[in-house]
Amino acid sequence: MSLNTTRAKTVGLNKAPVTPPVKASKIKDPAKKSHYFKDLITAFKNGDKYVRLSALFMGTGYIARKQVIKGILVQLLQILYILAIIFYAGPSFAKFDTLGTVRRSGLIPESITMTIPSSFFLTL
């Protein structure tokens, strides 16, 4: 073996493993903003009737595409959410007008009276 081939072999063993380059499509541009609502409106406009129907009744798209169990579970989740809003959040909304009011009964006994010296009013 010549000196050049032995040297190449020893140098090759000491190299760090080379990682493949990252594709440009996987790199997220921080300046590029998310267009979530724009994409949602586009999907609603261009989608089929099941996409539009699933905007009102969750799970209909799953059922239409033969994923019945998942569709039923999602519809049950929506029904439970609506029932929770009606029975748990509904009574709380009825008390919304009293938000911030504080009842002070019982904190200070009425037998305690407070006298303010007349010199206090002179300082005001």
Domain ranges of the chain: 35-94
> Which amino acid would we find at residue 37?
F
Cβ 78 vs Cβ 58: under 8 Å: yes
Full-model pTM: 0.48
Q: What angle in degrees, to the nearest 10, is found between the helix axes of 49-56 and 36-46?
A: 120
Q: How far does Cα 28 stand from its chain's mean position?
A: 21
* pLDDT tens-digit map of 57-111: 999 989 999 999 999 999 999 999 999 999 988 888 877 777 766 666 655 555 6
